[in-house]
Amino acid sequence: MDIIWSLLGFLVAMSLLVFIHEYGHYFAAKIFNIKVLQFSLGFGKPFYTKQVGETQFCLSPIPLGGFVRFVDEREGPVAPEDLSRAFNRQSVYKRFVVVAAGPLVNLVFAWIAFSLIYVSGINGLKPLFVADNKASVVTNAILKENPMTDLSQAVWQIKAIDGQTIYSWQEVYQSVVSGLVKDENSLPLMIENFATQQTLEVQVSLKGLDLDAPKQDWLKILGFDPFQPPVPAIINKIQPGSAAEIAALKTGDQIIEMDGVTISNWQELVEVVRVNPDRKVGLKFLRNQQQYSVDLPLKSRMTEKGLQGSMGISVMMRPADLEPYIIQQSFSPVEAMVRGAEHSLNLIDLTLVMIKRMLFGEVSMNNLSGPISIAQFSGKAMQTGWISFLSLLGLLSLSLGVLNLLPIPVLDGGHLFYYLIEMIKGSPVNESVQLIGQKIGLFLILMLTFFVIFNDVVRLYNA
């Protein structure tokens, strides 16, 4: 089933983003009355064609790109009546706009996607954490700022990082990634005691994190232990054949005692179950305000931490129990557009910095992902919801736009580089020089394609 979701997500994402990119070229050409012969989504022999006016629209089987073909004397004979509409006869400025329109439309789409996400609002758990591990980075940062801070029962909320307001754990993670990419030594945080509203400004060191090890749990290494809201231990779902089903427990039952230990919240129940694999324990629970007792034959499961107990239930999350710990932040359309633009510019900056560090060997090329990884991410995002999928589309569209603006022959950026030279010197770059550049560019793109696919295969093999 995951493979089907991945294929579907990949086809939808790539088709949409390639269409947007190629439509940018097509739209700009139509504005300048340049004749467009063909608009193709995908490469290879078309399996579907439709003639609309003077343009043939095609769908081809390899969904890794597309193209728009103009009337051009360099590609074959042109009818006399079409000479004025040939691409090669346009001024260098018009050609520049037509070529630049593709990646620019991708960047605009990313901005719109991120803006729509902000308009829909940020919903989720507040970035709350406990800092009771005295050896952790964040605990040391807090004690360094205020040695008298009582950490025993404190719950902290991350309010801002580097001056930017923080609403969710996702934004915390993105800030850590940004700091690593930019090779920063620490992150300036403003945190607030969730109970007393006491605020502290601390510097959290990033020196123990490795950008080339993305499987590391960076937040856990820093000591950000997410606070688990103390929700009551009320049963939501029961797995067939589980210990809970054997004991005839039902949805809505609230567990109040297990193995002689009073249970006041879900986390306490989890801890008792965890340390009692394959044991029969006494259980007390409430059902319709009545207390009942039963013997519960816990089962076991093997985890990374060894053999642990298993009860086979999930917790019921009631809105009233979670309300103090939930963030629901909405933005006006104007605010959303501003934040969407800021997010886009930040991602562009991170992308360019990452590319530079890779070229200089400061960061491993293994961080690059290819079509297989994109398919996996797309499938997971589609299953998660439209917000996740739109966020992925925005990120991919932005990456596609930035990549195509790089001054590599064959890519749009390579053509734009030639046009800039033409603007400066007053004449086109020699065709033989362009041909050599295209061969080099094609070689680089093919090598990069093989490399990222190899990276994807290795990730699958090591999964």
Inter-CA distances, 11 with 47, 294, 375, 397, 399, Å: 16, 52, 8, 14, 17
Token pair 């919801």 is found at 385
Phi first, then psi: give them for residue 258, nearest 5 degrees: -140, 130
Do the Cβ atoms of 23 and 395 come closer than 8 Å? no
Query: How far is Cα 219 from Cα 346, in angstroms, rounded to an integer?
Result: 21
**DSSP code for 223:** T
* Catalytic option among 22, 75, 192, 268: 22
3-state secondary structure of 41: strand
Do the Cβ atoms of 44 and 91 come closer than 8 Å? no
Q: Is 22 a catalytic residue?
A: yes
3-state secondary structure of 183: coil
> Where are the extended beta strands (E) located within 148-198?
155-161, 164-165, 186-193
Amino acid at 94: K
For 346-357, b where at least 16 C-beta lie within 10 A, e where not — what string? ebbebbebbeeb
Phi first, then psi: give them for residue 247, nearest 5 degrees: -85, 5
Query: How far is Cα 277 from Cα 284, in angstroms, rounded to an integer?
Result: 18
> Where are the extended beta strands (E) located within 229-376?
235-238, 254-258, 261-262, 280-287, 290-297, 299-303, 306-310, 313-315, 326-329
Give the catalytic positions in this structure: 22
